[in-house]
Structures are given as structure tokens and as C-alpha cells.
């Protein structure tokens, strides 16, 4: 046994507490897993918390508990995959560099662009951030006009503006990406006013109401570090001379010089994709997913997931994540928003597409989620506008647009969305009554099967039927589909080297984030921004190369 005044910290995984049990049982159970009496626990905290509602019994909180115990008190043979000394891998700090060591220009102020800028500014550089949309306050007014009056600003909307497409979303912060970058992103969010519980919850989220204040705090940090933020600034293309990027050309003709360009334009940058391809930037078609938003009463989701414990004040609004297969395609739920609403995401007139959002409290009466099916380049190749190489490359964007234009036609204009009872869609019916939904522009009865090719529709129908096997009640009379959900990810990949993260077309050009085909959500896009920033810092000698390559 070590000295009684010395302590050490251990992490114990899979420590559970049922709804209704006092929180202190977690400390006792963690101590028991370590082979110690509860009295040996000097302090304890929850490092990670998830909810397991499976099995028909009371829902359980499944936790990773960090405990402080006397040094040497844990027997050596207690080591197991569920027990380990507490240690959190950290993202290394970059060595400070001169402000004029490089002039990075960042295209896009979504999570990728913002976190790349924060990382570069922390090392002493003064990045220039260019965003075609407006700052978050002005953008909020444009979004409100779109939702309330059907008036679209093509440069400032749910897709474009400070914070990117995720600003009017659920603000989900969970990701399948691992490594220390996840913790760095979450801690950065907390440092700018995010709630500390995101460091603990297995499915952390912010909500749109929190994202607005968070973005302002990040903007203040960047401006105080000498970064230049330019809103209402749309780039035309990048400029490349002798195989190296030299800056970007703006739509008004201005040239912005740069030693490095972080290209993070978001997943709806269709005009920019064409301009980049015309400039010779290497790109390739990629698969993505399309489908609809499905809306259920939140009370139904709670009852299915929690059973008779659905009214427990300890439990948050319930969540689901569903997967199936049909016709050789993956069909799945995506971006589920408990207690949320469905919002319009068009960027040009004459198209309707939708997404989901919620506020931090998730207190709305309805839950919504995308239900989507994967499509590949072979599916959308026939949609190319011509035999031209660039039209062939951008066939996926045209596939999306055709579906959005059909949705607009069925809605009757003014960004009214077509909608259909889920059961009617599955049965192949048309024209049934549709209850009022959370989509503020309003819905019109539609024939959603006409939005996609027959094979895509058949796979969606078969896959959604399969959801019922894992979620009894999904196929509800109250479920409504709202169309269309097309912008789950970019329809192209802007190619980059796996080691340097630079475009093969131009040294110093870093395609990044969701709009370039890398990352799929706030955290993964933010981590990708960190990676490309670290690649720039490694080139300047501020970080070792191995970290930039394998963070």
C-alpha cells in the first residue's frame, strides 16, 4: 500500500445505475469493480454517460466513472479492458510562430473553417476567413424571413453564413471519429461558453439557441488574435501558379493573396465545385444519401424507447438510430432531432429541401429524423447535363437538384414542402390528408415516390419497413414524411494527399470538411479543420510531422 496521503485516479467503464436509484451508487459500484470499499473513494466524477433502454426493464445510465483512491490501493491484477488509470490523451500545443510566417486564407466559416482558424491563431498566425453568408445575427433575420415569409437570400440562409449548415440544426456533437481531437473540440466549445455536460454525455448536443452565442464568442477570440473575418464574401475560384496555390479570386474580381488556402465551403457549394473543376482542381464523384424527413410525436418515441418509464424526469427526450438493408442498399436514420422541427434548406429559388433542428431543451412535441438511402455515382451518372467531363463530374449535384425541383413543384411554390403519411408512402398511395407538421412554410399533400428514381424509392420503402423490426411503433399512423432530404453530404470529393492533406493539383491547397468530402457533422468537420491547420503548422516547424499526419 502506498503512502496514505498520496492518491491516484482510475477509470472504470460500464458502471450502471437504473432510473430511480440514487447517483451515489455509481461510486460504490466503481469502487467494487476496483476491489475497494466505498470509503476509499476520495472523490469521483462521471467521465462519460449513456442511456441503455433495451431489455424491457428500467432504463439504465451506463457510465465511465473516474475515481480518486489511495495510491497503490488497486491490486495489479485488477487491470482489464474496463479498468485503467485515468489519462486523457491531449492534442499537443503548437510552438508559437511569427505572425508573418504564413498567410492562411480559410474559405468557409463552418466548424471546419472556424476550428482551423482557432488552431492557427493560437500558434500566432493571423488567418483570413472568407464567408459568403452573413454574421450569425444578420443571418438569423434572413432565416426567419425564409421560414416565415418564404423569402430566400441565396447567400444567407440555413446553409450559408457564420457557423455553416450546422447552426440551424440540433447541434449534435457526437461522432464516430476517435482520438484526442474529439476532446480538444469539445473543450474548445466549453471554453467559449458551451455547457460542461457535453464533456460527459455520450450523445452531447448544443441546440441552435446555444450555437448562436457560441459563434459570437469564437469570433471574438479570433478577432482578438488578429484574424480577419470577412462576411458577404463569395469566392469565384482558387488561383494556382506553377503548381502552388497563390490565393483566391472573389466573385467581384478581387484577388486575396495566400500562402495556404483551407477550402471548407460546405456541402452545398455547387457553383464553386464547377469553378474549381474549370480551374483544374482534382475532384471525383462520391456517394451520398437521399430521402425524406420523418416526423413522429415525441411522446410516441419516448414510449417506445422507455416504456412505462417514459414520464421519468431523469430521462431526456428519447432518441433512435435505425439501420436496414433493401435491394442491396443501406437505408438508415440520420440526424435525429428529439423535440425538434423541420426546416427549409434551399439555396436557390425553385427548389425545396429540408433538414431538422432543435433547441437545447428539445422540448417540442414532435421528433424528426432523416430516413435516407445510399446512392452511388453509378446511380446518378444518367443525370449528367451533357457528355462534358465537368457535367459528368457534377451529375450528383444535378441528381439532388432534380429531386429538389420536383419537391418544389409538388409543394406549389413559396418553399411549401410536399408531405405524405408514412404508411401511405409505403403502400404506394397518393393524395391522403396530412396533419399539420412543424415545417413552418407549410406542407401540401404529395406523391413522394416521384421525387427519386424507382430503384431508390423501392429501397427506401423496403428499408423503412425493416425499421419496425428494431423499433416497434415506427410505422405509425401519426408518422409523416416531408420531402426532400438531399444534402446529407457533398456529391463530390475534392481530392487531397493522405499524408500532406494538400490537393494533388496545388501545393498549399487544403480541401477540408464536409464540403470537400471529409467529415460528416460538427465534430468530425472541426477535427478535419484541426488536422489541416496542423499540417500547415508542421510545415512551419511548429508541430512534428507525425501528428499532422495521424492526429
Assigned domain for 93 exists: no
Give me the residue label for grid cell 464516430.
176
Claim to verify: residue 349 and residue 427 sit in the same structural domain: yes
Assigned domain for 91 exists: no
Claim to verify: residue 401 and residue 471 sit in the same structural domain: yes
Assigned domain for 459 exists: yes
With b for 16 or more beta-carbon neighbours within 10 A and e for fewer, the 323-332 pattern comes to ebebeebebb
Rounded Cα distance between 376 and 378, Å, is: 5
Assigned domain for 158 exists: yes
Q: Mark which of 85, 116, 151 sits at the end of a domain.
A: 85
Q: Look at the chain and report how many structural domains it folds into.
A: 3
Claim to verify: residue 476 and residue 371 sit in the same structural domain: yes
CATH number of the domain where residue 231 is located:
3.50.50.60
- Asked whether 502 and 63 are in contact (CB, 8 A), the reply is no
Claim to verify: residue 445 and residue 474 sit in the same structural domain: yes
**pLDDT, position 1:** 47
Residues of the domain holding 395: 288-381+390-485
Claim to verify: residue 480 and residue 352 sit in the same structural domain: yes
CATH number of the domain where residue 29 is located:
3.30.70.2700
Assigned domain for 264 exists: yes
The contacts of residue 378 (CB under 8 Å, 6+ apart) are: none
The contacts of residue 18 (CB under 8 Å, 6+ apart) are: 57, 58, 59, 60, 61
Claim to verify: residue 469 and residue 444 sit in the same structural domain: yes
Residue of 65, 67, 79 lying closest to 43 (CA atoms)? 67
**pLDDT, position 174:** 78
Assigned domain for 122 exists: yes
Claim to verify: residue 31 and residue 164 sit in the same structural domain: no
What's the pTM value of the predicted model, to 2 decimals? 0.93
What phi and psi values does residue 375 have, to the nearest 5 degrees? -120, 145
**pLDDT, position 80:** 82
Q: Mark which of 450, 466, 485 sits at the end of a domain.
A: 485
Local confidence pLDDT in tens for the 551 residues of the chain: 455 569 999 999 999 999 999 999 999 999 999 999 999 999 999 999 999 998 888 999 999 999 999 999 998 777 688 998 888 778 888 889 999 999 999 999 999 999 999 999 999 999 999 999 999 999 999 999 999 999 999 999 999 999 999 888 877 887 777 788 999 999 999 999 999 999 999 888 888 888 889 999 999 999 999 999 999 999 999 999 999 999 999 999 999 999 999 999 999 999 999 999 999 999 999 999 999 999 999 999 999 999 999 999 999 999 999 999 998 999 999 999 999 999 999 999 999 999 999 988 899 999 999 999 999 999 999 999 999 999 999 999 999 999 999 999 999 999 999 999 999 999 998 877 899 999 999 999 999 999 999 999 999 999 999 999 989 999 999 999 999 999 999 999 999 999 999 999 999 999 999 999 998 889 999 999 999 999 999 999 998 764 444 43
Claim to verify: residue 25 and residue 117 sit in the same structural domain: no
**pLDDT, position 411:** 97
**pLDDT, position 81:** 85
Claim to verify: residue 114 and residue 73 sit in the same structural domain: no
Claim to verify: residue 254 and residue 302 sit in the same structural domain: no
Assigned domain for 500 exists: yes
Claim to verify: residue 128 and residue 273 sit in the same structural domain: yes
Q: Mark which of 439, 457, 485 sits at the end of a domain.
A: 485
Claim to verify: residue 438 and residue 506 sit in the same structural domain: no
Rounded Cα distance between 364 and 198, Å, is: 21
Amino acid at each position: 500500500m502506498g503512502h496514505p496521503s498520496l492518491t491516484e485516479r482510475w477509470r472504470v467503464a460500464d458502471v450502471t445505475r437504473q432510473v430511480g436509484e440514487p447517483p451515489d451508487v455509481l461510486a460504490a459500484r466503481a469502487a467494487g469493480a476496483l476491489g475497494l470499499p466505498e470509503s476509499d473513494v476520495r472523490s469521483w466524477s462521471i467521465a462519460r454517460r449513456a442511456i441503455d433502454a433495451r431489455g424491457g426493464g428500467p432504463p439504465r445510465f451506463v457510465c465511465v466513472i473516474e475515481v480518486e483512491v489511495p495510491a497503490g490501493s488497486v491490486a495489479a491484477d485488477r487491470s482489464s479492458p474496463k479498468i485503467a488509470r485515468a489519462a486523457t490523451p491531449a492534442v499537443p500545443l503548437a510552438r508559437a510562430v511569427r505572425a508573418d510566417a504564413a498567410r492562411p486564407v480559410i474559405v468557409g466559416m463552418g466548424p471546419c473553417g472556424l476550428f482551423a482558424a482557432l488552431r492557427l491563431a493560437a500558434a500566432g498566425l493571423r488567418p483570413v476567413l472568407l464567408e459568403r453568408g452573413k454574421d450569425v445575427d444578420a443571418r438569423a433575420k434572413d432565416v426567419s424571413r425564409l421560414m416565415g415569409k418564404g423569402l430566400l437570400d441565396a447567400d444567407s440562409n440555413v446553409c450559408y453564413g457564420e457557423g455553416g449548415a450546422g447552426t440551424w440544426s440540433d447541434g449534435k456533437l457526437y461522432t464516430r471519429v476517435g482520438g484526442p481531437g474529439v476532446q480538444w473540440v469539445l473543450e474548445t466549445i466549453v471554453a467559449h461558453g458551451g455547457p460542461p455536460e457535453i464533456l460527459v454525455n455520450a450523445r452531447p448536443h448544443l441546440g441552435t439557441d446555444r450555437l448562436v452565442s457560441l459563434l459570437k464568442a469564437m469570433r471574438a477570440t479570433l478577432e482578438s488574435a488578429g484574424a480577419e473575418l470577412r462576411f458577404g464574401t463569395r469566392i469565384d475560384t482558387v488561383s494556382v501558379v506553377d503548381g502552388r496555390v497563390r490565393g483566391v479570386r472573389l466573385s467581384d474580381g478581387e484577388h486575396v493573396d495566400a500562402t495556404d488556402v483551407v477550402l471548407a465551403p460546405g456541402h452545398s457549394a455547387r457553383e464553386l465545385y464547377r469553378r474549381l473543376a474549370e480551374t483544374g482542381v482534382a475532384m471525383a464523384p462520391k456517394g451520398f444519401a437521399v430521402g425524406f424527413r420523418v416526423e413522429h410525436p415525441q411522446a410516441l418515441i419516448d414510449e417506445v424507447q422507455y416504456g412505462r418509464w417514459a414520464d421519468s424526469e431523469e430521462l431526456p427526450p428519447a432518441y433512435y438510430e435505425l439501420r436496414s438493408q433493401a435491394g442491396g442498399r443501406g437505408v438508415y436514420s440520420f440526424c435525429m432531432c428529439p423535440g425538434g422541427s423541420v426546416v427549409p434548406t434551399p439555396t436557390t429559388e425553385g427548389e425545396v429541401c429540408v433538414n431538422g433542428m432543435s433547441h437545447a431543451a428539445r422540448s417540442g412535441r414532435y421528433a424528426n429524423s432523416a430516413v435516407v438511402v445510399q446512392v452511388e455515382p453509378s446511380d446518378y451518372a444518367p443525370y449528367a447535363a451533357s457528355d462534358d467531363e465537368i457535367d459528368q463530374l457534377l451529375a450528383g449535384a444535378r441528381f439532388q437538384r432534380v429531386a429538389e425541383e420536383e419537391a418544389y413543384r409538388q409543394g406549389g411554390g413559396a418553399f411549401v414542402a410536399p408531405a405524405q403519411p408514412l404508411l401511405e408512402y409505403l403502400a404506394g398511395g397518393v393524395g391522403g390528408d396530412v396533419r399539420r407538421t412543424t415545417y413552418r412554410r407549410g406542407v401540401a399533400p404529395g406523391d413522394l415516390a416521384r421525387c427519386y428514381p424507382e430503384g431508390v424509392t423501392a429501397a427506401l420503402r423496403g428499408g423503412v419497413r425493416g425499421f419496425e423490426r428494431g423499433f416497434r411503433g415506427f410505422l405509425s399512423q401519426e408518422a409523416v414524411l416531408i420531402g426532400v432530404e438531399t444534402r446529407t453530404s457533398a456529391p463530390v470529393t475534392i481530392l487531397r494527399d493522405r499524408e500532406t492533406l494538400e490537393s494533388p493539383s496545388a501545393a498549399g491547397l487544403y480541401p477540408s470538411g464536409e464540403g470537400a468530402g471529409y467529415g460528416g457533422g460538427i465534430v468530425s468537420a472541426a477535427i478535419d479543420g484541426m488536422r489541416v491547420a496542423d499540417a500547415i503548422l508542421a510545415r512551419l516547424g511548429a508541430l512534428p510531422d507525425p501528428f499532422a499526419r495521424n492526429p
